[in-house]
Amino acid sequence: MKLAEIAQESFKQKRRLIAPLMGFPGVVLTGTNIKLAQQNYGLHYKVIKALADKFSPDIIFTLMDLSVEANALGMYTLFPRENPAAVPTGKFDMEEIKELREINISFDTRVNGYVETMKLMSIGLSKEILKGAYVTGPYTLASLIMGAIEAVKATKWQPERRANSGL
């Protein structure tokens, strides 16, 4: 079912769409941990399926992980067992942007894990549930790569650097 159809049906029934961003409570439901659920697409799907079965949402999303794309571009990433993955701020040079453009993240194992999770969701979850995934936007990705403070400085005080970098 498409989003427009789901929305129209919900509107006819005078009810709100249920689309919670609730991935991590599913980790508790399944007895796994965040690290495993983010890195093992079978467990990731199991978490999402448990949430779908328990709450019957209209729309469900994969686990939120803002580090996937940054990790795919070679950024150092920490993977704590009980917290989402994180990209610590490190030294960054704008010249690195040119090198990053050459990386095809579609070959990254973590990116592919999210693709495989979506495939399992489309096969294993009710056709009535719309499936969605997160993608890190360019500014969030730049903030993870450069560090949030440096990204703000570049945006505010050096917009020409940002424009020339492709960010």
pLDDT digits (tens, 9 = 90+) for 15-30: 888 888 888 999 999 9
Helix ranges restricted to H, the chain: 3-12, 23-30, 34-39, 41-55, 68-72, 96-100, 109-124, 138-146, 148-157, 159-165
> Closest by alpha carbon to 118, among 167, 34, 60, 53?
60
Average pLDDT over residues 37-45: 97
Q: Output 146 or 86, whichever has higher pLDDT.
A: 86
pLDDT the model gives residue 26: 94
- Please give the Cα distance from 12 to 18 (Å, whole number): 15
Q: Which helix (H) or strand (E) holds 94?
A: none
- Per-residue pLDDT for 108 more than 90? yes
- Please give the Cα distance from 75 to 133 (Å, whole number): 21
Average pLDDT over residues 47-51: 98
Tell me how far CA of residue 97 lies from CA of 121, 143, 149, in angstroms.
34, 13, 18
pLDDT the model gives residue 158: 63
pLDDT the model gives residue 1: 64
- Per-residue pLDDT for 160 more than 70? no
Q: Output 46 or 1, whichever has higher pLDDT.
A: 46
pLDDT the model gives residue 154: 74
Could you tell me the pLDDT band of residue 89, with boundaries at 50, 70 and 90?
Answer: confident
Overall number of domains in the chain: 1
User: In which domain, by residue range, is 132 found?
Assistant: 3-165
- The chain-wide mean pLDDT, for the chain, equals 86
What's the CATH number where 114 sits?
A: 3.20.20.210
- Per-residue pLDDT for 104 more than 70? yes
- Per-residue pLDDT for 105 more than 80? yes
